Amino acid sequence: MAIKKFAVAAYDDEAVLFPAVSKVRHSGYKLHDIYTPFAVHGLDVAMGHKDTDLHIAGFIYGMCGTSTAVGFISWIYCSDWLQNYGGKPHFALPAWIPVTFELTVLFAAVGMVLTFCYLNQIMPGVKKHVFHPRQSDDMFVVALELNDHVSEQEVIKFLQSTGAKETSIQKAEASWWYGRWDKKEEYEALNA
């Protein structure tokens, strides 16, 4: 557990959010993250994130599926258990296309979803701090990480100047932990 101090600003419109993100990035404050209720296109670029490589992982998983299918079936038919179906060749590739295709898709999909969960650090039983109860509803929430040298009043004043509807200072766990969502965490008392 690493409890840190955050300045939190909640915006109610993407049109206000984008210029605000630009101002935050040029202000010198440390941008922790931005939480949105849905995929806001261009926000990753505005924050300076690189594009994800998840699809490349998906391609690799798919190739694993292809080679598993072709390797396994050809091992069975050409080496492990030879069978003669009406004199047809043992290595009957066209007949294996359906199974090969299905395993390609299966490996790619399962592998990508597991990678997605790993990269996002999500799993049943995982708990993370929610900065604003409406960040999954209609608020776009920007969290800035503060150190002891930053004046709280100044950062709040700055966030309000960017058009934030609500602002607050919160102490919170920065990462994830195992926990139940119906239980209050100890650190939450610090915010009261």
Q: Alpha-carbon distance 170 to 130, whole Å?
A: 11
**Could you tell me which stretch among 1-9, 96-104, 147-155, 161-169 binds another protein (CB under 8 A)?**
96-104
Nearer to another protein, 63 or 117 (CB): 117
Q: Alpha-carbon distance 145 to 130, whole Å?
A: 14
- By CB under 8 A, tell whether 176 contacts another protein: yes
Per the structure block, which two tokens stand in for 111?
């592998």
- By CB under 8 A, tell whether 29 contacts another protein: no
Q: How far is the CB of 156 from another protein (least distance, A)?
A: 20
Q: Using CB under 8 A as the criterion, what x/- string covers residues 140-159 for binding another protein? A: --------------------
> Long-range contact list for 175-178, CB < 8 A, 24+ apart?
175/2, 175/121, 175/128, 176/121, 176/126, 176/127, 176/128, 177/1, 177/126, 177/127, 177/128, 178/125, 178/126, 178/127
Tell which one of 4, 5, 30, 36 touches another protein (CB under 8 A).
36
Nearer to another protein, 83 or 153 (CB): 83
- By CB under 8 A, tell whether 64 contacts another protein: no
Nearer to another protein, 146 or 173 (CB): 173
The amino acid at residue 118 is: Y
Residues 99-138 that bind another protein (CB under 8 A): 99, 101-103, 105-106, 108-110, 112-113, 116-117, 119-130, 133-138
Question: Residues 6 or more apart from 63 whose CB is under 8 A from it?
Answer: 104
